[in-house]
Amino acid sequence: MSATQQTAHQPERRFAVRIRIAVPPEGFGSQLGQMIEWLDANSGAGSWSMTPSGTSGVVNDALAIYFGDSALARAFVSRWCIGCRIEI
């Protein structure tokens, strides 16, 4: 396994919960910064992680956010994933 692959798998081992979010065709714009601010304010820096989570070989079409507990993941989904399909 390459160093890049190992780095990508580190959050999966460290955090119990992962959500995947599709990146809109136009990108997140300023919303990404707002999501990061929300994550830091509600869970503290270091208690979550965000990585690319591409599907179908496209690197930047989705991102994964990892959480230490499901309550924080639910709060994030309630706040930011309005009108989206949720898969468990």
87 occurs within a structural domain: no
What are the residue ranges of helices labelled H in the chain? 3-14, 30-43, 70-80
**pLDDT digit string, tens, across residues 1-43:** 444 444 445 667 788 899 988 888 888 899 999 999 999 999 8
Pick from 28-32, 43-47, 72-76: least confident: 43-47
Whether 88 is in a domain gets the answer: no
Q: How far is CA 19 from the centre of its chain?
A: 6
Decide if pLDDT at 62 tops 50: yes
CATH number of the domain that residue 38 is part of: 3.30.70
86 within a domain of the structure (yes/no): no
Q: Which of 27, 88, 87 is nearest to 63 (CA)?
A: 27
Q: Are 35 and 28 in contact (CB under 8 A)?
A: yes
